[in-house]
Amino acid sequence: MTAPARYCVFGNPVAHSKSPAIHAEFARQTGEDIDYQARLAPLDGFADSVHSFIASGGCGANVTVPFKEEAFRLCSARSARAQLAGAVNTLSFDGTQILGDNTDGAGLVRDLTVNLETPLTGRRILLLGGGGAARGAIGPILEQRPEQLFIANRTASKASDLATLFSSLGPVTGGGFPELAGSCFDVVINATSASLSGDIPPLPAGVFAPEALAYDMMYGKSDTPFIAYARQLGVTRLADGLGMLVEQAAEAFFVWRGIRPDSLPVLDKLRRT
Q: Which residues, in sequence order, are bridge partners of residue 216?
A: 190
Q: Taking CB under 6 A as the rule, does residue 12 contact ligand ATR?
A: no
Catalytic residue among 68, 158, 221, 269: 68
In the chain, the amino acid numbered 218 is M
In angstroms, rounded to a whole number, what is the distance separating the alpha carbons of residues 149 and 140? 12
Q: Taking CB under 6 A as the rule, does residue 132 contact ligand ATR?
A: yes
User: What is the helix, strand, coil percentage profile of the chain, to 5?
Assistant: 45, 25, 35
Q: What are phi and psi of 76, to 5 degrees?
A: -85, -25
Q: How far is CA 159 from CA 173, 174, 200, 259, 265, in A?
A: 8, 5, 17, 36, 36
Name the minimum Å distance from CB 134 to ligand ATR. 6
Asked if residues 150 and 131 have their Cβ atoms less than 8 Å apart, the reply is: no
- Determine the interface stretch with ligand ATR among 34-42, 105-113, 123-131, 250-258 (rule: CB under 6 A): 123-131
Q: Which residues, in sequence order, are bridge partners of residue 98?
A: 93
- Determine the interface stretch with ligand ATR among 4-12, 99-107, 126-134, 142-150 (rule: CB under 6 A): 126-134
- Determine the interface stretch with ligand ATR among 103-111, 112-120, 127-135, 166-174 (rule: CB under 6 A): 127-135
Crossing angle for the helix pair 156-166 and 132-143, to the nearest 10 degrees: 40
Closer residue to ligand ATR, CB minimum distance, 118 or 190: 190
Closer residue to ligand ATR, CB minimum distance, 102 or 192: 192
- Total residues in contact with ligand ATR, by rule CB under 6 A: 16
DSSP code for 42: P
Q: Check if 68 is active-site.
A: yes
H helical segments located in 56-131: 68-74, 80-85, 104-110
Name the minimum Å distance from CB 69 to ligand ATR. 8
- Determine the interface stretch with ligand ATR among 24-32, 44-52, 149-157, 260-268 (rule: CB under 6 A): 149-157
Q: Taking CB under 6 A as the rule, does residue 130 contact ligand ATR?
A: yes
Site string for ligand ATR, 171-210 (x = CB under 6 A): ---------------------xxx--x-x-x---------
Interface positions with ligand ATR (CB under 6 A): 129-134, 153-155, 158, 192-194, 197, 199, 201
